[in-house]
Amino acid sequence: MQEVDNAVNQARKEIQQRYDFKGTDCRYEFDREGAKITLEADDDYKVKALFDILQTKFLARKVSLKNVKEGDVEQIGGGRSKQELTLAQGIPSDTAREIVKAVKNQKFKKVQIAIQGEELRATSPSLNQLQEVIAFLKAEDFGYELNFGNYR
């Protein structure tokens, strides 16, 4: 979340300096607890431009765009528009079950995989088996960026 906060702050600085945003009221609002970013601008075009700037800042900070779900651009009155971006944290339960099913279908020897809240834990006495599971999961696309923690 700190990297997201840094990317939003960099994007704010950039819109203050860009010529095409001079004299406009464009802003980013980051709700850390709710894991949401609100883009607000004078029109739809500027909202899309704000999103493009934010995407480049995310890529520079190595924040995965797979975990950013963009909402629709809404008219909020006075000719202004806004868009909400939701940041996914953890793995939703339906996706977690899909990942568990995919790993079990591969029939890795002595690999146990369990859902623990918003995380998955794979255990195996063999380090090579865990590395094979990680390679398999990296090759698949489940719609979310997967991070792998300590394995032993």
> 79 in a domain, yes or no?
yes
Please tell me the predicted confidence (pLDDT) of residue 2: 83
Q: Percent of the chain at pLDDT above 70?
A: 98
Q: Are 9 and 83 within one domain? A: yes
Size of the chain, expressed as the number of residues it contains: 152
Strands (E), the chain: 27-31, 36-41, 68-70, 74-77, 80-87, 112-116, 119-123
Q: Are 18 and 68 within one domain? A: yes
Please compute the mean of the pLDDT values over residues 9-13 and round it to a whole number.
Answer: 87
Please tell me the predicted confidence (pLDDT) of residue 152: 56
pLDDT in tens, 45-75: 888 988 899 889 888 888 878 878 888 888 8
Q: How far apart are CA 49 and CA 39, in angstroms?
A: 10
Please compute the mean of the pLDDT values over residues 26-41 and round it to a whole number.
Answer: 87
Q: How many CA atoms lie within 13 A of 115 on its CB side?
A: 14
Q: Are 74 and 100 within one domain? A: no
Q: Are 6 and 81 within one domain? A: yes
Taking the whole predicted model, whether its pTM rises above 0.85 is answered as no
- The answer on pLDDT for 150 being more than 80 is no
Q: Are 13 and 81 within one domain? A: yes
Residue 103 sits in which domain range? 93-139
pLDDT in tens, 84-112: 988 887 777 788 888 888 888 888 888 88
